[in-house]
Amino acid sequence: MVKKEITSTDELKKELEESKAKLALLNKKSSHPVKTKQKKKEVKKKTEVKKIETKKTEANKLETRKAEAKKKEAKKKEEAKKKEEEAKKKEEEAKKTYEELLEEQLTEEEITGFQIDKTDMDRLSNKVCEIVAGYETKGMFQSELWKKLKLSSRDGSRLALKLERMGMISREKILENGRWTYKLIIKRTPVSTSSLEGAPCLTCPVEAQCSIDGEISPKTCKFIDDWVRIESKHSN
């Protein structure tokens, strides 16, 4: 290439201006790829930030689901515990015998004052004690006794409670064939009616003067004390 000869100042200035223009154009071209690269980096960065935010959102949702699952599990356990307690309560209630439930419902006056219509209760009580005494310390199932005396379960149970309060019998709670029931055991054998033939009162010379609160009284009578001791020995 033949270099052009510069002959004037104007031509020199023009040449400089052209050179500057060319340089500016070159600079512009060279900076364009840099800006494009930088823009790509920014886009990539924004994409990464978005991914991170998405992961955080998913992590928060997962934690929320876990917390809800824990609450549900805790509630489930609480309900299971409540059901178990209710089942135990029902089981304990099931262990109560009919007599226990009856005893809870009745007052002491209703128990001790129990009376069956058109029935001599003293005679019936003595009959019960005589039968139970025949089993000695082994006792007998109350259900057997009620069948023998043709008493209903309710009347028999109330009579047993009454006799227990009187100190005539004791009731032993036992499990029989998977059910709770009672054995009746004699504590105090009643004096049989046949023994009244030997009662001192029948031949007592001062019987007419005898009274509960008088000077001559069955409370202090030596003959009655001796008679009761003898009859007790016979009955044992």
Q: Tens digits of per-residue pLDDT, 8-47? A: 666 766 777 777 777 777 666 555 555 566 777 777 778 8
Q: Domain holding 157: CATH number? A: 1.10.10.10
Mean pLDDT of 179-194: 76
* 141/196 same-domain check: no
Mean pLDDT of 164-187: 88
Residue 90 or residue 224, greater confidence? 224
Q: Are 171 and 182 in contact (CB under 8 A)?
A: yes
Query: Could you give the maximum distance between any two Cα atoms of the chain, in Å?
Result: 186
Per-residue pLDDT band for 183 (boundaries 50, 70, 90) equals very high
Q: 31-35, 96-100, 141-145: which range is least confident on average?
A: 31-35
The structural domain count of the chain equals 2
Whether 104 is covered by a domain: the verdict is yes
Distance (Å, whole) CA 40 – CA 180: 87
* 167/223 same-domain check: no
Per-residue pLDDT band for 1 (boundaries 50, 70, 90) equals very low
Mean pLDDT of 93-121: 85
Domain extent at residue 209: 192-236
Q: What are phi and psi of 143, to 5 degrees?
A: -60, -35
Mean pLDDT of 69-74: 89
Q: Are 145 and 124 in contact (CB under 8 A)?
A: no
Per-residue DSSP letter, 205: T
Distance (Å, whole) CA 91 – CA 77: 21
pTM of the model as a whole:
0.45
